[in-house]
Amino acid sequence: MSNLDREAVPSPCGGRGFVVTEPVRELLSPRNVKLGESTEVRRLLPNLGRRMVGAWCFVDHYGPDDIADEPGMQVPPHPHMGLQTVSWLHEGEVLHRDSTGSLQTIRPRQLGLMTTGRAISHSEESPRPHARLLHGAQLWVALPDAHRHTDPHFEFHAELPRVTAPGLAATVLLGTLDTATSPGTTYTPLVGADLALTGSTDVRLPLERDFEYAVLAMSGEAHVDGVPLVPGSMLYLGCGRDELPLRADSDAGLMLLGGEPFEEELIMFWNWIGRSQEEIVQARRDWMEGSRFGEVKGYDGAPLPAPALPAVPLKPRGRTR
């Protein structure tokens, strides 16, 4: 999925300067963003109150949307660099195409993981025909400097490990939770897990004390460390926790995101993550001239043009609030 804002602005991210080193309960409100022809998403990261959670730097929650008589998700070819995209569905299907030749339909609780490395382009669309409902999340992970120029590639994992407890089923997307480790490739210490809670659940989830965490509410209503969360909201939790209390009176779905605080300073502009003004300028030139990012074959439509660069210089910075 892409950041389709035509008035894109740079997001200074990274650095430990604003990492909360103790447990907190910071509720983040979403910003509604139109995505393609008929999909509206709730953007939780980057947020005015919080730019990153570990290496997680972009979080969109969408649906559940009734797309029976709609085209559904239609995101034309667009470029990426310096990050990983994580496609995660609770309902519906998304067809992924990219410039390495990957073609894959992603279904609920299957992992579509694209490592963009130095350059890639891709598209995402609802298949034809498609399921009635579409509900999921799209997330980005910033790549550290040592790996951000790696070869681009796409991974698909239909089966993922799970952690269970009374009233809880946790599917591990990335990293390790408790005793379960995802097969997805990671480049920094992090975790991503889908948490399905049944009614009358009161459970404690083990955490890593050195990680910072946030919880995204996907469906239903749950209490996370005593804070009620409704779908489309996210609770930032800081660091310094060994466990996380979860309670649900009825069925609910959450996503746990965490990782070691990302030390590097970076620039996120449109669909690129770089370290300097020159990198972003060059990426835009390469995309508009049709070089470097490759071609997505098979999509019925034109690629997305890049937005204009801002008049002010782009500077890499640490975490800001």
pLDDT in tens, 275-301: 999 999 999 999 999 989 999 999 999
CA separation for the pair 210, 239 (Å, rounded): 6
pLDDT over threshold 90, residue 104? yes
**What is the DSSP pairing of strand 94-98 with strand 120-125?**
antiparallel
DSSP 107: -
Mean pLDDT of the chain: 92
Residue 52, classed as helix, strand or coil, is coil
Q: 27-41, 159-173, 205-219, 230-244 — which is least confidently predicted?
A: 27-41
- What is the C-alpha radius of gyration for the chain, rounded to an integer number of angstroms? 19
Q: How confident is the model at residue 16 (pLDDT cuts 50, 70, 90)?
A: very low
Q: Which residues contact 319 (CB under 8 A, 6 or more apart)?
A: 12, 13, 14, 15, 16, 17, 18, 19, 51, 52
> Rounded to an integer, what distance in angstroms lies between the CA atom of residue 38 and that of residue 51?
27
Instruction: Please tell me the predicted confidence (pLDDT) of residue 22.
Output: 80
Res. 18: pLDDT tops 60? no
Evaluate if residue 122 carries a pLDDT over 80.
yes
